[in-house]
Amino acid sequence: MVFVTKDIVELLNGSNDEWLYQAADKAKRQTYGNKVFVRGIIENSNICDRNCLYCGVRKENKELKRYSLSEAEILECARGIRNQGIKSIVMQSGESQSHNDKKIAQTIAKIKTEIPDCDVTISFGEKSRDVFKMYKDNGADRCLLKVETLQDDVYEYAHSGYKLKDRIKSIEDLLDLGYQVGSGFIYGLPLYTQEKFAQDLLSLQKLGVHMYSTTPFIASKNTPFADLDCGEVNAVYRSNAIYRIMEPTVNIPVTSALASLDENSKAKGLRRGANVLMLSFTPESVRKDYSIYRGKNTVKTEELNALEALEEEVKKADMVPAYERGRSLYQYKGR
């Protein structure tokens, strides 16, 4: 279905929720049936060189104890994920020159050798094309790299010193290299009007990503944006539904950010176009230190043995958890 900016703004405002959510659910079921892909995430380090104004792991947050998991610890987490039957492993970290890309790529190669039936997603921020290629050559299948916004003014305000064009370049490199790419926005950032956000949904569709993920902005302590209002949760559900209708074959997760603002987010999100859930397998000893936003890794259903709780939520949405690699059915058509 083809929308123009004005249609999207109206839908984001809740002008036609009943139609929107039904159409999104139908589009989702036509592509993925009643399946919900389940992923396990390992937050392998909170060390970060950047100072994104909204993010709790920003470099200048001195309140945080910094950690980096060893290779043995990462492998142990990966085994833990596979032992639960999950075949989709996501690794995420802060973005830092101090991370040893070669070593982490080798760790991914070891995961893939030991667990050949799994897919690995990396989410380490921007890297050079060569480094992304090295990760791919070592077995990385997908990358999650949110652009956060596709508006220069919004981007530069929230990421002082960094340029949107570099972020976009990374997305294009990843697509060229044959990654399945996930991206999306933070709804409710300062300067981010609904009109701009609506334009961005159309621009992201043109970029051609395989997965759409938008979080509501969460005001996090020890950040310059700590006192701002959080992004509106309903607009995030609506944006998921709109994108599902625009591109029925993409994967769309219900994010943990949404869960930290809305207790019933999983079942609700799954009924509104989403088809992916993620569970944290980060070791308990460091989990509280991966606090990119308030509430992250503290909500009940993010605990290590949370698989049962997750299955309950999936059932509430009349769907079934699918323990498979969970690739996106979206076909990137090139530039």
Q: What does the block give as tokens for 100? A: 């040893």
Query: Could you tell me the smallest distance in angstroms from the CB atom of residue 256 to ligand SAH?
Result: 9
Residues 10-49 that bind ligand SAH (CB under 6 A): none
Q: How far is the CB of 230 from ligand SAH (least distance, A)?
A: 8
The answer to whether the CB of 52 falls within 8 A of the CB of 58 is: yes
CB of 291 to ligand SAH, least distance (A): 9
Q: How far is the CB of 18 from ligand SAH (least distance, A)?
A: 28
- Contact pattern for ligand SAH over residues 229 through 248, marking x by CB under 6 A: --------------------
* Identity of the residue, 147 or 242, whose beta carbon is nearer to ligand SAH in the bound complex: 147
Number of residues that bind ligand SAH (CB under 6 A): 19
183 contributes a contact to ligand SAH by CB under 6 A:
no
Backbone dihedral angles phi then psi of residue 314, each to the nearest 5 degrees: -65, -40
| Contact (CB, 8 A) for 119 and 325 | yes
**For residue 206, what are its two tokens?**
């043109």
Q: What is the 3-state secondary structure (H, E, C) of 97-166?
A: CCCCHHHHHHHHHHHHHHCCCCEEEEECCCCCHHHHHHHHHCCCCEEECCCECCCHHHHHHHCCCCCHHH
- Contact between 54 and ligand SAH by CB under 6 A: the answer reads yes
Is residue 256 within the footprint of ligand SAH (CB under 6 A)? no
Minimum CB distance to ligand SAH smaller for 31 or for 260:
260
Residue 196's nearest CA partner among 255, 253, 247, 147 is 147
Contact between 149 and ligand SAH (CB under 6 A)? Answer: no
Q: In the complex, which residue's CB is closest to ligand SAH?
A: 125
95 binds ligand SAH (CB under 6 A): yes
Q: What is the rounded end-to-end Cα distance, in angstroms, of the chain? A: 21
Q: What DSSP element (H or E) covers 37?
A: strand 35-45
292 binds ligand SAH (CB under 6 A): yes
Distance, in Å, from the CA atom of 198 to the CA atom of 206, rounded to the nearest integer, reads 13
Instruction: Single out the segment in contact with ligand SAH by CB under 6 A; choices: 1-9, 89-97, 104-112, 169-177.
Output: 89-97
Is 164 a binding residue for ligand SAH by CB under 6 A? The answer is no
Q: Is 218 in the site for ligand SAH (CB under 6 A)?
A: yes
Residue with tokens 């606090």: 291
Nearer to ligand SAH among residue 24 and residue 257 (C-beta): 257
Q: State the Cα–Cα distance between residues 321 and 105, nearest whole angstrom.
A: 29
Is 89 among the residues that bind ligand SAH (CB under 6 A)? no
Asked if 146 and 186 count as a contact pair (C-beta separation under 8 A), the reply is yes
Nearer to ligand SAH, 31 or 45 (CB): 45
Among 40, 94, 208, 326, binds ligand SAH (CB under 6 A): 94
SS percent in the chain: helix, strand, coil, step 5: 40, 15, 45
DSSP tag of 254? E
Contact flag: residue 139 with ligand SAH (CB under 6 A): no
Cα distance between residue 332 and residue 330, in whole Å = 6
* Single-letter amino acid, residue 110: K
Q: Which is nearer to ligand SAH, 159 or 268 (CB)?
A: 159
Of the two residues 51 and 106, which places its CB atom closer to ligand SAH in the complex?
A: 51
| Residues 56-75 contacting ligand SAH, CB under 6 A | none
Residue 148 binds ligand SAH (CB under 6 A): yes
Residues at the site binding ligand SAH, with contacts judged by CB under 6 A:
54-55, 92, 94-95, 123-125, 145-146, 148, 186, 215, 217-218, 220, 257, 292-293
